[in-house]
Amino acid sequence: MVQIKLKSRQWLVDEQDRIIMGEGRKEILETIEKTGSINKTAKVMKMSYKAVWGKIKATEQYLNYRIVHTDRKMGTWLTEEGKELLEKYSLLKKRCLEEEDKIFSGIFGRKQT
């Protein structure tokens, strides 16, 4: 028998289904935390600086608060709100995946990996 597994993604979206937070933005925020730079983040993620900055600004605009602080001399870092958003999204994703595994196992009879 072919092994199957469930694969899903979670996005936080607005009323027009525009993405506020998802895996890509999670990765952007995590990479900013590691590199301290939007430019380095763009290079690591193989995106343009403009694309990374645009995603950050779109999320900030919807939430009406800053998630990233930039300083030409000191670099870039997540604000407390940005850290909280990242933590909450990561927790949401973890819990969703745990529940999806339970549902999948209940329907298909065993957990697939």
Whether 29 contacts 35, CB under 8 Å? no
Could you give the angle at the alpha carbon of 29 between the alpha carbons of 36 and 13, nearest 5°?
155
Residue range 23-28: mean pLDDT, rounded:
97
Number of domains in the chain: 1
Give the model's pLDDT for residue 78.
98
Asked if residue 31 belongs to a domain, the reply is: yes
**Residue 55 belongs to a domain with what CATH number?**
1.10.10.10
Residue 14, pLDDT > 60, answer yes
Residue range 45-52: mean pLDDT, rounded:
97
Asked if residue 39 belongs to a domain, the reply is: yes
Asked if residue 113 belongs to a domain, the reply is: no
Residue range 72-84: mean pLDDT, rounded:
95
Asked if residue 12 belongs to a domain, the reply is: no
Residue 75 belongs to what domain range?
19-98
Residue 110, pLDDT > 70, answer no
